[in-house]
Amino acid sequence: NAGVTQTPKFRVLKTGQSMTLLCAQDMNHEYMYWYRQDPGMGLRLIHYSVGEGTTAKGEVPDGYNVSRLKKQNFLLGLESAAPSQTSVYFCASSYGTSFNEQFFGPGTRLTVL
């Protein structure tokens, strides 16, 4: 099993450009999450999904959109990238109940110039 995979691993954008980050999991998890990690701030939840076709806002959703058309995939989109979105983005998945651990992907390092 590959677990949670993320594409791409690195990306450099110019301000105003758009891009989509792809997350895929092969564990049949219902719940998927997108986080951003910034120095000294831990991980902050951007959006999450509790099942195929559903999405919800997390702690820092502004400037991002998500879609979950298939259970195994969770896409994070930046429509008009800003330098403040320079960060490391992590996808995670879980069975959903609060006592289950979340499994994390390797991350995508995004730089917006």
Partner 1 sequence: AQSVTQLDSQVPVFEEAPVELRCNYSSSVSVYLFWYVQYPNQGLQLLLKYLSGSTLVKGINGFEAEFNKSQTSFHLRKPSVHISDTAEYFCAVSDRGSYKLIFGSGTRLLVRP
Q: Which stretch binds partner 1 (CB under 8 A): 16-24, 65-73, 79-87, 101-109?
A: 101-109
Place of tokens 């429509």: 79
User: Which is closer to partner 1, CB of 17 or CB of 43?
Assistant: 43
Q: Which stretch binds partner 1 (CB under 8 A): 20-28, 63-71, 74-82, 90-98?
A: 90-98
# binding residues, partner 1 (CB under 8 A): 24
Q: Is the torsion defined by CA of 94, 21, 2, 73 positive or negative?
A: positive
Structure tokens at 22: 């792809």
Ordered strands of the 4-7 beta sheet: 4-7, 19-25, 73-78, 65-67
Task: Work out whether 22 is an interface residue with partner 1 (CB under 8 A).
Answer: no
Task: Work out whether 1 is an interface residue with partner 1 (CB under 8 A).
Answer: no
